[in-house]
Amino acid sequence: MAEFIPLYMFAAVCLLLMLGYPVAFSLSGVALLFAAAGMATGHFDMAFLHALPNRIYGTMINTTLVAVPLFVFMGLMLEKSKLAEDLLANMSRLCGGLRGGLGISVVLVGMLLAASTGIVGATVVTMGLMSLPTMLKQGYSPALATGTICATGTLGQIIPPSIALVLLGDILSSAFQQAQLQMGIFSPETVSIGDLFVGALVPGLLLVLMYIAYIYFYALARPGKAPRETNRIDKGEYLQVLFPLLPPILLIIAVLGSILSGAATPTEAAGVGALGAILLALAKGQLRLDRLREVMTSTTEVTSMVFMILIGAAVFSLVFRGFGGEELVASLFEGIPGGVFGATLVVMLVIFLLGFILDFIEITFVVVPIVAPILLAMGLDPVWLGIMIAINLQTSFLTPPFGFALFYLRGVAPPSVLTSDIYRGVVPYIVIQLTVLCLLALWPGLVTWLPNLLFG
């Protein structure tokens, strides 16, 4: 029974999280309790915990993770300075002549907002407050409106620059080096966050295009449930409407372009994004002292949460390894029929189910370091694996009845919108995301082609 202690640890953490205990303290508390019990019974060597100070110090000096607070600051500043509201108003006027134009504009604005914040909850709540009342007033079906907002909110998992990809890229980089050392490669190749950003571009844009196509054809088939925009623009007003759209779009292009061209690291690009967001808010006359204080406070809270979870996950992973968890997982993978395909399918299914109770941060810090080295040692491409995990989690956060995005939107939706409307609305988008997952599984080049082209 002792060899299954790592699985008991994992089950205990999941139970505490379902009971509502904080993630960081659940991870570290369970790990320390199991470590103490293991040391008392002779099943655990405390030498494993001696590595904890080095782990924490490594996190402190990891310059890549500096991008996290900077990207969070950038997104919050764009949100609090009302730039997102202006974007939605102008985009809806621009798309007014199209079938389902308001829904399409919600997807496009949500994509930009998701790219800047990278936090599912923030994007869903913001888009829910801004666009749901407008869509319902315009005569949109509650199911279509809520499904579109939820699906758009989860784009923060895959559209770069996303903090989900920053954290995932940092973990996969370590896992890839570990996998190569296990394979006897002592001059390991590296994978960077920039690789993950570039690999996410084609799948992310594919998802957006499929969302837009679904809304367009839905509006074509059922015009009464997705009417045309009433506040359309005349031909002479196009420049007037396009002008306010350019600054935030150019900011995101500048951030991504500097990374893709190699002119800046993700951390440096995040600094450019944060400064650019401040300048945009200043240009709009929205940079007041109280707003700046609010953005900085929220940034500190989000960043503190991320790093507390990272420390808790470090304690958990050390104790997990001390109980032989890596060997147990590897032996379980070897017993799965179908080889690397079977192992990957099982991991994706487990991550999908864990997405019902764990946020992407916990899964990235706890689950990915356990399974990624084993899968990468089987020959999987790290960029492909990272994008598959990101879209898989995106689908999990959207799936009834436990998807996080559904709970976030339910919290800000009016009482007239039924929970069943939200559930029905997300089903077509879940089908779209599963289709994209299957396409990436069949043609990994959709992910790896662009990174190979740009970075060799």
What pLDDT score does 173 carry? 84
| Amino acid symbol at 456 | G
pLDDT of 451 over the 90 cut: no
Q: What is the pLDDT of residues 85-112, one digit of tens each?
A: 777 777 777 776 677 788 888 888 888 7
CB of 134 closer than 8 Å to CB of 327: no
Neighbours of 289 (CB within 10 A): 7
Q: What is the pLDDT of residues 407-423, one digit of tens each?
A: 778 877 888 888 888 88
CA triplet 267, 82, 271: central angle to 5 degrees? 10
Q: How far is CA 225 from its chain centroid?
A: 30
pLDDT of 115 over the 90 cut: no
Higher pLDDT, 318 or 356: 318
The C-alpha atoms of residue 325 and residue 40 are separated, in whole angstroms, by 19
Question: What percent of the chain lies above the pLDDT cut of 70?
Answer: 93
Q: Where are the alpha helices (DSSP H) in 118-159?
A: 120-138, 142-153
The C-alpha atoms of residue 216 and residue 218 are separated, in whole angstroms, by 5
CA triplet 240, 241, 242: central angle to 5 degrees? 95
Higher pLDDT, 63 or 347: 347
The C-alpha atoms of residue 170 and residue 193 are separated, in whole angstroms, by 7
Q: What is the pLDDT of residues 58-67, one digit of tens each?
A: 878 877 778 8
The C-alpha atoms of residue 373 and residue 371 are separated, in whole angstroms, by 6
For residue 17, the SS3 value is helix
Which residues, at least 6 apart from 5, have a Cβ–Cβ distance to it below 8 Å? 34, 38, 43, 323, 324
Which residues, at least 6 apart from 178, have a Cβ–Cβ distance to it below 8 Å? 373
What pLDDT score does 186 carry? 64
What pLDDT score does 232 carry? 60
| Mean predicted lDDT score pLDDT of the chain | 81
Burial of 243 (0-12, 13-18, 19+ CB in 10 A): exposed
Greatest alpha-carbon pair distance for the chain in Å reads: 79
Q: What is the pLDDT of residues 190-233, one digit of tens each?
A: 777 888 888 888 999 999 999 999 998 988 888 888 777 665 66
Q: Read off the pLDDT of each residue in 425-443 and give the average, rounded to a whole number.
A: 92
CB of 27 closer than 8 Å to CB of 309: yes
